[in-house]
């Protein structure tokens, strides 16, 4: 697939932007979502999407909807994870509506209908995704329940979703995860000391900085993010974790070379050494 009209190195980058569910919901409360905060984030995402049509995919974290749906699944029901499909579509619909209200040609895509899970890796049937991007439509994705080769439905969390884009576009891919901390913290909870770089081939040191998950978290928290992002980086993506805030003036810097980002932005970057200065 060719994505039209590359102008500069930054313009050639394809962005997968994930807004973590913790930024717009309280995961401890079932089916909670702060629509006012979501709408503020949607304005920022919309500004970026309108500026770069066909050059980004949006991933919505499941938040309270997703975590609540899978917390107590019936282990004896091979299709129990189906509840995640309903829950995360509600989240996708909230984002899609807010994005469209801000002038974005946004469309929710249901991974349960376009992906299979083979050997624990999602295999995408890419036709709809590719056509949406070719037509300048912003795909809105989320976690879902995927069908395995033995006929079970398996939970596929939103941290894993950016991986389905790898191999589907012809330009360098940057995966940005906005969360409630400024990166991988080296000083424990409440710290603002951030690990600036993780070598995806040697990620063990990063895991030493993690602490136990909250009981209500079903996705592995930061450990789950590091696990998935290091895999994506080994497959060629440049990955960044940074704090999201609806008060920032713009997110357009996310498609600029990292060296040109605002000086007050902290982040953890995960990329192979030759990708460090992209």
Instruction: Report pLDDT digits (tens) over 27-46.
Output: 778 788 999 999 999 999 99
Write out pLDDT tens, residues 131-149. Answer: 999 999 999 999 999 999 9
Q: Which H or E run includes 47?
A: helix 35-51
Write out pLDDT tens, residues 143-202. Answer: 999 999 999 999 999 999 999 999 999 999 999 999 999 999 998 787 889 999 999 999
Would you list the domain boundaries of the chain? 9-275
> What topology is assigned to 9-275 in CATH?
Carbamate kinase (3.40.1160)
What CA–CA distance (Å, rounded) separates 21 from 11? Answer: 28
Mean pLDDT is highest, among 24-28, 45-49, 220-224, for 45-49
What CA–CA distance (Å, rounded) separates 94 from 108? Answer: 10
Of the candidates 239, 272, 245, 250, the residue with the CA atom closest to the CA atom of residue 13: 239
């Amino acid at each position: 697939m060719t994505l039209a009209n590359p102008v500069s190195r930054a313009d050639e980058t394809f962005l997968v932007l994930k807004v973590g569910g913790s930024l717009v919901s309280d995961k401890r409360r079932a089916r909670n979502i702060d629509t006012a905060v979501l709408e503020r984030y949607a304005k920022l995402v919309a500004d970026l999407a309108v500026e770069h049509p066909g050059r980004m995919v949006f991933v919505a974290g499941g938040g309270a909807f997703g975590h609540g749906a899978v917390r107590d699944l019936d282990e004896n029901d091979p299709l129990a994870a189906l509840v995640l499909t309903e829950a995360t579509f509600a989240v996708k619909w909230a984002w899609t509506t807010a994005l469209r209200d801000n002038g974005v040609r946004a469309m929710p895509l249901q991974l349960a209908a376009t992906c299979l899970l083979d050997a624990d890796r999602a295999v995408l049937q890419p036709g709809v995704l590719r056509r949406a991007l070719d037509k300048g439509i912003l795909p809105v994705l989320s976690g879902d329940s995927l069908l395995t080769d033995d006929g079970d439905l398996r939970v596929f969390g939103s941290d894993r979703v950016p991986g389905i884009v790898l191999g589907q576009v012809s330009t360098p891919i940057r995966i940005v995860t906005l969360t409630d901390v400024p990166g991988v913290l080296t000083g424990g909870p409440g710290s603002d000391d951030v690990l600036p770089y993780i070598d995806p081939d040697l990620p063990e040191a990063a895991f030493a900085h993690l602490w136990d998950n909250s009981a209500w978290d079903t996705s592995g928290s930061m450990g789950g993010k590091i696990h998935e992002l290091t895999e994506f980086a080994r497959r060629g993506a440049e990955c960044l974790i940074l704090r999201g805030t609806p008060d920032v003036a713009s997110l357009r810097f996310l498609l600029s070379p990292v060296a040109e980002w605002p000086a007050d932005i902290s982040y953890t970057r995960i990329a192979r050494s030759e990708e460090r200065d992209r």
